[in-house]
Structure 1
Amino acid sequence: MKAKDAMTSPAVGVSPEATLEEVARLMLERRIGSVLVVDEAGRLVGIVTESDFLKERGIPFSTFRAPMLLGRFLGKDGLEQVVAEARRTKAKEIMSSPVHAVGLEEPLARVLELMLDYDINHVPVVDAEERPLGIITRFDLLRLLKPHL
């Protein structure tokens, strides 16, 4: 099987300047776990996933790990402030980049390797110019099993 056999198309994309509020709205309205970030020419430059909204990051030069919400460290009393600030935060500020993407003809085994090697749930499918054609999620891989269940 190849990437084109498992992908969902089209993938949803936003500009690097899109606010996190816009990204969240798209993800909620379309019930998707990621949004691709594309430049003016439509080339893939990043990805924002639901896990990018809430992460745990290490403090530099420390073993302490702190929660981050929408790209901001979260203190005990700062939730409202972080959410208000995030309305102005741009996708480019929290997107993951570079993105591990594949071509249409890439074997599905390579997609699985990427997901496991990089602990990711979303692999964009791109053309030769790096323009998104679709996306493969772990859920898409489950759908491949449906005829056999």
Structure 2
Amino acid sequence: MHGSVYTVSDVMTRTVVALAAGAAFKEIVRTMEGRRISALPVIDTGNRVIGVVSEADLLRKEEFRDSARERGTRARPPAGLDKAGAVTAADLMTSPAVTVHPGATLGQAARVMARRKVKRLPVVDDDGVLRGIVSRADLLRVFLRPDTAIADEVRREVLAGRLPDGIDAIGVDVEEGVVTLTGRVRDTSVVPLAVRLVRSVEGVVDVRSELTGPAHRPVLEPDLVQEDARRSAPQPRS
């Protein structure tokens, strides 16, 4: 894994169980049961992903089992009824498949999963060839990074290279992925930037800022300022 930007290629599973388009219904069920996988990519002879078969696709057969005799009486068949009679992966699959590129960030992959309501994504190259699979669990692996590794990256990649005060002025403590920043900075306007940059480091759960501005001398009353100036002025020799 490299830098503070992790990609799908960093966490994906590279050994993938996939289906040929002609895979039979019971073969698909056995594969899912044996591998404990809820969805499988379907590939053509060139290993290009052409669709995905999920448990939901297979369950159409059970869902509409009692509806077979009613099919001819419906003006418009219900969605999914066509898959109730499917016997091969090509007929069962959802196509086109929702996929992701190996170079996509983990955030991009997570957004695709959330928007399309899927638990895993086939990873394909520019030609659509299957290169791996990434799941929700894979995306969460970054939160298993050691606290020491996170602290080192925050100091090296964020504080040392991006902030004017550098690593000497700011303390970094990481516990269970929560980063606490302490110390004084010359310009407090950089604090929101520091927090945002630290939060972008993979594996960071939260950021707590205890950064403060430079220490200031108390402001004295005008008469005290004059008295203080007289005391500080050099005295004439007698």
TM value normalised by structure 1: 0.74
Identical-pair percentage: 31
- 1:39 corresponds to which letter in structure 2? D
- Which has the larger strand fraction? 1
CA distance in 2, matches of 1:50, 1:141: 22
Question: Which one has a bigger Cα radius of gyration?
Answer: 2
Matched residue count: 128
Cα distance in 1 for residues equivalent to 2:145 and 2:61: 39
Q: Distance in 1 between matches of 2:23 and 2:134?
A: 23
For residues 100-139 of structure 1, the C-alpha deviation after alignment (integer angstroms, 9 at most, x for no partner) is: 2121111111111111111111111112221111111122
Conservation of the 8 A alpha-carbon contact between 1:19 and 1:88: no
5+ long unaligned stretches in structure 2: 1-5, 70-83, 147-175, 177-238
Determine whether 1:69 maps to 2:74.
no
Structure 1 residues 100 and 88, CA, compared in 2 at 3 Å: closer, same or farther? closer
After TM superposition, the structure 1 = structure 2 runs for residues 1-149 of structure 1, keeping only pairs within 5 Å, are 1-54=6-59, 68-69=60-61, 73-75=64-66, 89-147=87-145
Q: Which of the pair has the greater relative contact order for Cα pairs under 8 Å at 6+ separation?
A: 1
SS of equivalent residue, structure 1 residue 75: helix
Q: Please give the alpha-carbon distance, in whole angstroms, between the structure 1 residues aligned to 2:145 and 2:105.
A: 20
SS in 2 for 1:134: strand
Q: CA deviation at 1:87?
A: 10
Aligned-residue CA RMSD (Å): 2.6
Q: Secondary structure at the match of 2:28?
A: helix
> What 5-or-longer segments of structure 1 have no aligned partner?
55-67, 79-85
Q: Find runs of 4+ consecutive structure 1 residues off by over 6 angstroms.
A: none
Q: Distance in 2 between matches of 1:69 and 1:144?
A: 39
TM-score (norm 2): 0.48
AA of the residue aligned to 1:142: L
